[in-house]
Structure 1
Amino acid sequence: MGLPAPPRDSGLPVPDGGGGIRGTWQWTWVSMLALIVAAYAPPAWSLASPDAWQTRHIAVLIVGAASLTASIVFVSLLRSGLGQDVTSARARIVLVVLAVVPWVATSVTPVLSIEWALIPWMAASLIAVDLPARCRWWWLGAAALALALARVGLAAVTGTRIGEMWAVSDTPLSMLFPALVIMLPLASVFQMWLWQVVISLDAAKSERAELARTQERLRFASDLHNIQGHHLQVIALKSELAERVLASAPDAAASLIRETQALAREALEDTRRLVKGYRAVSFAVEAENAAAVLDAAGIHVTTDLAADPPAALDHQLGSLLREATTNIIRHSTARHVTITLNTDDTDRIELSIGNDGVPERPRGSDGSGIATLTEQYRTAGGALTVTTDDGWFTIRGVLPQTAGAT
């Protein structure tokens, strides 16, 4: 079950990040807490059997409570676990000592019920979570053998009969003992393994989004190289040739210079067309590109492009969509995004981008990108608003049909 995990300095997301990761850890922590409570409940309940409590019962109960606290703290330390071997040796030693003391104390005549073995067994299961997969089962086997030998040895020294060593209490929870012995290590390892899987998937999500952006940058660089590379090479050759014949054939040199100038102007025009082609993309293409980037980031996108905006609005609508997409990937924990384009009651074009990943501190319209777009939309006779409602963060831009027309 061991899963290789990114190192702490790899630049990949840390569990303290988005709400999705935080929510997953909360469920993991609650599940682990339930396992710990299930392990400590039978031995604690067995203290209800004696007719009168002795000093040992009180001492065992106090140490058991300390062990319970240590187990909960140990699980909290595992939150930083992007892999195995993340807790300190000191934390493991404290956990083991506080768990073994009740077991030793209850193994001395008169022995208490065998349910007290669940406390050190829970500690062994938690430490197994933090070990490499190849070592876990050896560790658990050694722990089980050590617990059995400890009780047998102490019972033999104090003259306890064999039947008394393995007796269970007569409480209703005693019947859970066999199931808990099997369930505690398996469930603990599975819960933390699942946590590691979520961390790795979140890292892969970020890598996919970055890969999509990198591919777009490489495509632009390739197009730019294809356009300018040839022109610049020919310009360099014609310039060198004009320099060589300048003294002997000035007319030919002048002709070469004119050709060089024409090539330079052609290269400039081709570059402008390339940049314009990237800027003046239709909004439908912008929406398709945004959906692809968000999908690469693991976000489900629903688009509804009911309106057909004038070409003059493509740039302004596309700018808002690009800014919203960037903010969603960088600042939200969205799982679903909706992109809607339609006309309002006054026949104005309305673009709405919503997501369900509202951050703890929503950026609202304070970001420089949104603030700039808000001013641009206002100047064009439209409006841009940012709202948060029922867990959804929505940016809505409205433009008149004539905005951007020249």
Structure 2
Amino acid sequence: LPVPNPVPSYWLSEPHKYANLRSTPDLPESCDIAIIGSGMSGVLTAYHILKSSPADTLPSIVLLDARQLCSGATARNGGHAKVKTDTLTSLPSSQRVEFQAYVASVMRALKDLVEEEGLSAHCEFEVRRSYDVFQDVSKAAEVKKVYDEALCRGEKWTKEYAYLGEDIAEKVTSLRGAKAAFSSPAASFWPYKFVTGLLERMVGRWGQTGLNIQTNTPVTSVHESTLGATKLSTPRGNLHASKVVFATNAWTPGLLPSFKHTITPVRGMASHHTPLQPIHPHLNTTYNIHFSPSAALSPPSSRKREGTDYLNPRPNGSIVVGGGNYAYSKNKALWYGNFDDSARMPADVEKHWEQYMQDTFLGWEESESRAGLVWVGIQGYTSDGMCHVGRVPGEGKKKQQWMLAGFNGGGMALIAGAAKAVAEMVVLDRDF
């Protein structure tokens, strides 16, 4: 289950006034729908349930969180929605087209929602381009081969992607040692502000009629109730719910033991970098960087990097960067099966971020950029790489339980569509 006192992240640097909200002093004894988790999954599911319900028949919803509002993965990620090119090229042809179309629909849905609710400026929502940059020639060639084949077949996703060869990749992306790059659509935003801003509007609209929020109220167990509902046990008492939605991602196995070997908590690391001197050129696209240990850095004595990092430049010129897995991957206890986001990574691991922007990007050598914050977050990884969306397997139909969890570190590109689908399943009592 979520631990107390998680490490602060950049996204949590401006706490919302509802961070510790309890709509009522006491936990309600019962409700129509209980939603466990107040991150993007839980809040969007509640939003779509309430929005699709007639005003005179609004269900009573209790939204619970073990800690402060939206303090889990949504407030610790990269704030970045896209499909990496190498993710698409690793899939069969039909799945590539379908998956890219789905993520494109998620980005459109997010754009429509923030505009409808007046949140665009508040959460810094941007539709922009992104670069998948490769320092390794052989890896880039593998991806390019599949991309070219898909292009020849006229696969629709290729219309949104463009290839940059070695002659211009470094110049266009400003990434030192870039051998190739693919440009693709992306959306970026401040995820914590998106969720809390939306919830503030939901409280104003439905707070007196259908929505009850209970933060700092961990659900410790879930059992079938003698009242024909599900009993949610918390330190503040029990809540009986006719229907339950588990928006618990990596913490799902703590409440649903059948997922112990299906969804694994994986601890990741991210950071926030601020240049102290003006930067030219200003980075205005997001990135996924596929490092090569043989790539030249500046100065040459700098340590080599491996794996894939992601970058989300902020409107103020600062950068959110996540990844650095190679720095701790050999110490499995630090990350695999680890759900503790209250402890930072060891100092030798966090050194990955020292001089990061200066070493990685042309034009940043004199920036005096430094990592002001380094934090961790817990991701939910699944055994087959697919998320779980729909009725809880087994007795979920009998117990009226649904879930959306196990997003494998890619929730921002998936959740908006999944939450709307689960909301419809709950309202219409459907499996999927």
Q: TM-score over 0.5 for the alignment?
A: no
Which is greater in Rg?
Answer: 1
TM-score (norm 2): 0.21
Higher strand share: 2
Higher helix share: 1
TM-score (norm 1): 0.22
Q: RCO (CA 8 Å, sep 6+): is it higher in 1 or 2? A: 2
